[in-house]
Structure 1
Amino acid sequence: MRFPASARVAPAGPEGSAAFALELDPELLGFQGHFPGNPILPGVVQVDWAIHFAEAAFGPLGAFRGLEHLKFTDIVRPGQALTLTLALDPARESLRFAFQDGDTRKACGIIHFQGNT
């Protein structure tokens, strides 16, 4: 499976924002081979999830242009429960995202798009 088996929309804030509660099944494809015996979720998977869930919340975003202020500040392991928060800024064609486990930030950044926003 590519995405968390349990992903539910958490209460959203202002327009252009969304939040998802994610339960990370140890059988997720992203954990396979990264690293055997000590699995962690790769950063590229976290960025992919941010885009996937943003499009689920806001519709098509447009063509990917790049990443800015990307930070992976703590390891994501199987079985963790994360909150993914998203904030879309159509005028700047950008999406801010952050993954957190309680008060611990795991990753954050800004994804830039061109087109549909």
Structure 2
Amino acid sequence: MTDFVYKPDCHLIEQSEEHVLLKLKIPENLYYFQGHFPQVAILPGVVQLDWVMHYLNKYLAVDTSKAVSIDALKFQIIVKPNYEIELCLKQVKANKFSFSYSSTQGQHASGKVVLTDE
């Protein structure tokens, strides 16, 4: 039986009050590769969004429970096991944060997290 992990290996590259750049190593035994898809393991988009929320909270202290929308969401290149990708999170406005996943393969995904003004 394989021991699964739920998060990638994460290394902080740079951080300020308004942005963070992380290097993520996507392990083969990532739980979310199970059955998605049987012939080719790919990282589901919903997991990528979950990681955005997790790292916004962890590194930029964003209360992601106040997220009201994900704008300009694009998935360009699939993420496979053993990829090393960079996740860049930036504060665009007081209530808006951009994110992008990229690697030597190109841009994987991008979008903006919008929080409630309340």
Q: Same fold (TM over 0.5)?
A: yes
Instruction: Find the aligned partners of 1:2 and 1:115 in 2 and give their Cα distance.
Output: 31
Alignment-derived partner of residue 18 in structure 1: 20
| Matched residue SS, 1:8 | strand
Instruction: Find the aligned partners of 2:61 and 2:93 in 1 and give their Cα distance.
Output: 12
Q: Residue 106 in 1 paired to residue 108 in 2?
A: yes
Instruction: Find the aligned partners of 2:92 and 2:11 in 1 and give their Cα distance.
Output: 22
Instruction: Find the aligned partners of 1:114 and 1:67 in 2 and give their Cα distance.
Output: 12
Instruction: Find the aligned partners of 2:47 and 2:117 in 1 and give their Cα distance.
Output: 23
Instruction: Find the aligned partners of 1:66 and 1:2 in 2 and give their Cα distance.
Output: 24
How large is the RMSD of aligned CA atoms in angstroms?
Answer: 1.7
Equivalent of 2:40 in 16, 38, 41: 38
TM-score, normalising length: structure 1: 0.88
Alignment-derived partner of residue 49 in structure 1: 51
Query: Structure 2 regions of 5+ residues with no counterpart?
Result: none
Render the CA deviation track for 1:32-56: whole Å, top value 9, x for unaligned: 1101131100111111111111111
| Over 6 Å off, 4+ runs | none
Alignment-derived partner of residue 28 in structure 1: 30
Instruction: Find the aligned partners of 2:115 and 2:47 in 1 and give their Cα distance.
Output: 18
Point out the more displaced range, 60-69 or 32-41.
60-69
Counting matched residue pairs gives 113
Instruction: Find the aligned partners of 2:105 and 2:70 in 1 and give their Cα distance.
Output: 24
Letter in 1 for 2:51: W
